Structure 1
Amino acid sequence: MPLLVTEAPNPGIIHYETYGRGRPVLFLHGWLGSWALWRPTIEALGQEYKTYSLDFWGFGESRGSGENSANLQSFQVDSFVEMVSQFMDKLGIPKAAVVGHSMGGTVSLNTGIKYPDKVVKACCIGSPINGNSLNLLLKLSGVPAFAFIVWRFPPLLRMFLRIYSRFMAKDGKKMAAMISQDVSQVTMESFFQSIGTLRETNLTDQLNKITMPTLGIYGKRDIIVNPNQRHLLAKGVPHAKVVYIEDAGHFPMLDTPDLFLETLRNFLKIK
């Protein structure tokens, strides 16, 4: 289990998994997720690329400086951008393609905006450009009082996740098992702080700073992030390739794995 220690102003421990050989590609998970979402993808791409799949602070096996303290900065979306930058510096990765799902895709785009010299390609999958596109329950999860109540009553949280899992992917049982495992590793601080800052994020006016090749993948059946976000991406980044998958929801890599992998592989091949 590779671990990496980051420095101030956001010290913490990053857990990551790496696989394959070739040009580097970073994979970033979404809210309540972990690196494990990307396991099939990195295994499929490992013969062509050196893949790195990270756990954000407060998720999976990573831990940030905000846990057990009043400092919650480690769990903000902007801090995740700095985490990616530090990760690349620590491992001596000067440039990489950055692929992110949901919140991770917002981080991917934001990293491309703030560190254009480090990001050679940016990909977002089911990601909010504007935090208003999140569904109501996710918005409420960013309210500390609501998050505290849900967190103090695990049966309520499990019921909420079990019901939602049925609609998030075609294989509801598999999705429920994956989310249950990932949520067991999430802290309350990262639970509400990350989604709270994602709700307040709006990259619309900054998209024109993205100059690298960009891919957006959105599923028509997404009930987590409104797929109309694809229009904001296409308008703000005219050179972006935007793919709209009729038969996919918030997790195209699970709902339509072959099409997803083909789309991503073709994008990564672009010189």
Structure 2
Amino acid sequence: MAGSPAFEQLDVAGRTVEVLTQGRGRPLVYLHAGDGIEPSLGFIERLARSFKVIAPSHPGFGASPRHGLRDIHDLAYHTLDLLETLELEAPVVAGSSFGGWIAAEMAVRAPARLGGLVLIDAVGIKTGGPEDRNIVDIFSHTPEALNALSYNRPPPMPAPADLAAALRIASNRESLSRFAWSPTLHNPRLRRWLHRITTPTLVVWGADDRIVAPDYGRAYAQGVPGARFELIEDAGHYPQREQPEAVARAVEAFAGVAAAVPA
């Protein structure tokens, strides 16, 4: 189990952001889901065996101030600013769920800035007709019900360790609702622009995802020229948490890197 993250404070175009950095090698920017970085610390540690992982808290999440940012477009441009601030040349950008949506918006705007794009059960597009619900309305569920929906084998929900941890959870929930409430977890125009993504792309999906089904992931992959779709068995909406080794190996194979043997 991963320990407490050692965040650093970074100035990104005048905005203070907390960033966790682990490992060395090819840079990989990991964009967390709507519940923050902490649930994926084990996966980040695993990726750090083969990449230099840079994991920022999005504005409004964790201890990163929101800085007046208002929507997914602001978050996409902010994260592109982060790449420039860190002088990252062609990093792999991997995003989970809400973070995958941010990554896709970045790749539509500036495909040449990314050396690889990994979408892990990403939300963000609209499939089907106006009356079709393709994404579970997570805002209408209790945390307990959402936890049950999100995993193939739902883990217990531990109580926050202290007040600081509780405040981070509250900040994450508030900010996710601000950025993704309406329309719920998608940009109605994003799908039409996926053809602009010339970045090599891997779409990874949990076979048992009950938040956004695998067919939604296949639609994402079909919209991106040359994208590859990979299903992860025995995993729900967060396959990197339930099957971290399988997802890490898929990312390593896609990026053409080998994992270091742990000491």
Fold-level match, TM-score > 0.5? yes
Deviations 1:173-210 (A, max 9, x none): 345658x855233363x232211253344422111111
* Structure with the larger helix share: 1
Q: Report the secondary structure of 1:95's partner residue.
A: coil
Give 2:90's aligned residue: 95
Does the Cα contact within 8 Å between 1:169 and 1:175 map onto a contact in 2?
no
Give 2:178's aligned residue: 193
Q: Report the secondary structure of 2:203's partner residue.
A: strand
Tell me the CA shift for residue 14 of structure 1: 1.1
| C-alpha distance in 2 between matches for 1:218 and 1:19 | 24
Does the Cα contact within 8 Å between 1:128 and 1:225 map onto a contact in 2?
yes
Deviations 1:200-248 (A, max 9, x none): 4442211111111101111232122233222222321241110123421
**Equivalence map 1:32-181=2 (5 Å):** 33-66=35-68, 74-131=69-126, 133-138=134-139, 160-174=142-156
Q: Report the secondary structure of 1:173's partner residue.
A: coil
Does the Cα contact within 8 Å between 2:221 and 2:228 map onto a contact in 1?
yes
Structure 2 unmatched runs, 5+: 1-6, 127-132, 258-263
State TM-score, norm by structure 2: 0.81
Match of 1:224 among 196, 202, 211: 211
| C-alpha distance in 2 between matches for 1:187 and 1:249 | 20
Percent of aligned positions that are identical = 24
Which residue identity is paired with 2:136?
A: N
Q: Report the secondary structure of 2:29's partner residue.
A: strand
Match of 2:223 among 236, 253, 256: 236
| C-alpha distance in 1 between matches for 2:9 and 2:70 | 18
Does the Cα contact within 8 Å between 1:169 and 1:250 map onto a contact in 2?
yes
| C-alpha distance in 2 between matches for 1:176 and 1:98 | 30
Work out whether 1:3 is the aligned partner of 2:12.
no
Structure 1 unmatched runs, 5+: 67-73, 141-156
Give 2:260's aligned residue: none
Does the Cα contact within 8 Å between 2:46 and 2:245 map onto a contact in 1?
no
Counterparts in 2 of 1:175 and 1:118: CA distance versus 1, 3 Å: farther
State TM-score, norm by structure 1: 0.79
Does the Cα contact within 8 Å between 2:20 and 2:55 map onto a contact in 1?
yes
Deviations 1:142-179 (A, max 9, x none): xxxxxxxxxxxxxxx8xx1022212312453345658x
Does the Cα contact within 8 Å between 2:72 and 2:102 map onto a contact in 1?
yes
| C-alpha distance in 2 between matches for 1:137 and 1:117 | 33
Aligned length: 238
